[in-house]
Chains A and B, each alone.
Chain A
């Protein structure tokens, strides 16, 4: 039994023209999301996570240029369709949740109106059905007294509630694909756990594909079916969550895992692992490995040529010249008990 692919992107590149030259925000990125699957994209600030999601949604700023070999949603080609067709897909077949829900909820309309609008606009039914659907979903996202909430304005809700509203709004048309860009970063930890739980159970229930963008390794470990680690606009390692956390193969992934304090694993007060150096600016062409200035295993060869993706198995790859064995030998969990 094969699960159908919902989102397929091959060799996506995004270039942005900035005063200093061309900024390679995303380079040759490929990803595949199956039905009901969660792909977590993790990486540091500025590595191109948001640009990737905006590229998929066709919402890039005008000075950005997109190239790709393939980009398809449920088998439908996204590269060759007009903006108006894309607009009808957004909110219907593919939805997006942003970090700050305030920026995607309109402050002058009631919550209910905004939810219903999505439904009606995509021709799913009339006002009455829309209302029913909205109330149904609000109950699903755990909001008590949905009818009352629907008549409120966004600013009258707390951050956690607003994020739930966003989730409900994204689900109005039962999309095949949801892209969530740091959906819980602005929330408190208890609210974060609850919101993630909700997102996950709804996603499994509706069999929706989910791309979850985050910089929090804890969220990745708990939410992801598959993981893509991004660095400097490139995917540097992909694999299942278990593979990534138990056998991280790229020196960057290894560094990240050792950077964070983990209750029960790192000894309180001990030194955390750290990655030296700075993230490269993505302006202009750089040969060789983008991580070499921060890598402990750097060699001559890392300075030239194109470092390709090293495929270990289906869906498991990493972008480094070291062999998997060599790389794993170098890896030791910091402060492991």
Chain B
């Protein structure tokens, strides 16, 4: 699988590309406070090749969802540009983006309208895009329900009658019925039990090969990421700090934060104790990020230089790392 991807023809532009993408929110704290800029995402550069799975990892609040919303065309970047198939995304209408990129969300309870039947939910994209006759649409819904493993008897059920796993399948069917090439999954399994998670991960794998899909897969579970991803982007406080092939990142993490993340993975091996993580406790405030390298207050290897200067993202061919040590 992976070899095939690296040998994909150079002429084709990547499925998605971010060039210096940033998003700043102006937020107000308190009644009379001045608005302050919050840089939720800063200067992100990355590419997702066709058929690849790009995993985006990082701790809560580091900007993963914000980035995903920009990839979906739901949020405009405040700077930089996003290219979809080589075309700037802001030159394409949201309806056209919708035919190429579709989302799957984390919470299977809030992602389905409780007042609609499963059929109505999966149909919505076809109605909005005025695709097919009533009969065509029915058939297509049936086809996609089969594809995601939903029994036919559920077509007229309501979301409250489904289990968490089934709901997530409905969400996947709704995303796929437009036949997009890219699916942005924002923590699609983190609200599910492990046995249900396994079903959904297997399904995502199957659909990927069957429909030739490209995934942007947001997750905080590195075991899942290792299982699924071809390339990994690690974010910290809105910045991309490491990016590379999944196999490389997992075998040889370079940024101290990536290393800490990998060390924190708890494999179910009772012969190993708990990992000693030596990250400082100073959790950063995104409204007033630290000087120099954003990670330096917690970095076990920080030097004087890290306090003073922001490291630049170093591009060593396959790998991007933003750290003074590299």
Contacts and interface: CB of A to CB of B under 8 A. Distances in A.
Interface of A: 44-45, 142-144, 158-161, 188-194, 196-197, 200, 215-224, 241-242, 244-246, 255-257, 259-266, 268-275, 278
A241 B263 CA distance: 21
Contacts of B228: 261, 268-269
A246 B268 CA distance: 10
B202 A272 contact: yes
A274 B195 contact: yes
Contacts, number: 138
Interface size class of B (residues with CB under 8 A): 35 or more
24 contacts: A44-B193, A44-B195, A45-B164, A158-B283, A160-B283, A190-B59, A190-B264, A190-B277, A193-B264, A197-B274, A197-B277, A216-B266, A217-B194, A223-B274, A224-B270, A242-B271, A259-B194, A260-B268, A263-B226, A269-B1, A269-B227, A274-B195, A274-B198, A278-B163
Nearest to B283: A158
B269 interface: yes
A194 B268 contact: no
Contacts of B202: 271-272, 274
B247 to A, nearest CB: 8
A217 B283 CA distance: 27
Listed residue (B224, B267, B271) with the most chain A CB atoms within 10 angstroms of its CB: B267
Contact of B267 (A143, A188, A262): A262
B130 to A, nearest CB: 37
A255 B199 CA distance: 12
B281 A189 contact: no
A263 B274 contact: no
Rank and list the top 9 A-B pairs by shortest CB-CB distance, nearest first.
A218-B266, A261-B227, A241-B270, A188-B59, A259-B198, A221-B268, A193-B264, A272-B198, A275-B195
Contacts of B150: none
Nearest to A267: B227
Given A189-B220, A190-B261, A257 B227 contact: no
Contacts of B1: 269
A193 B247 CA distance: 23
B267 A242 contact: no
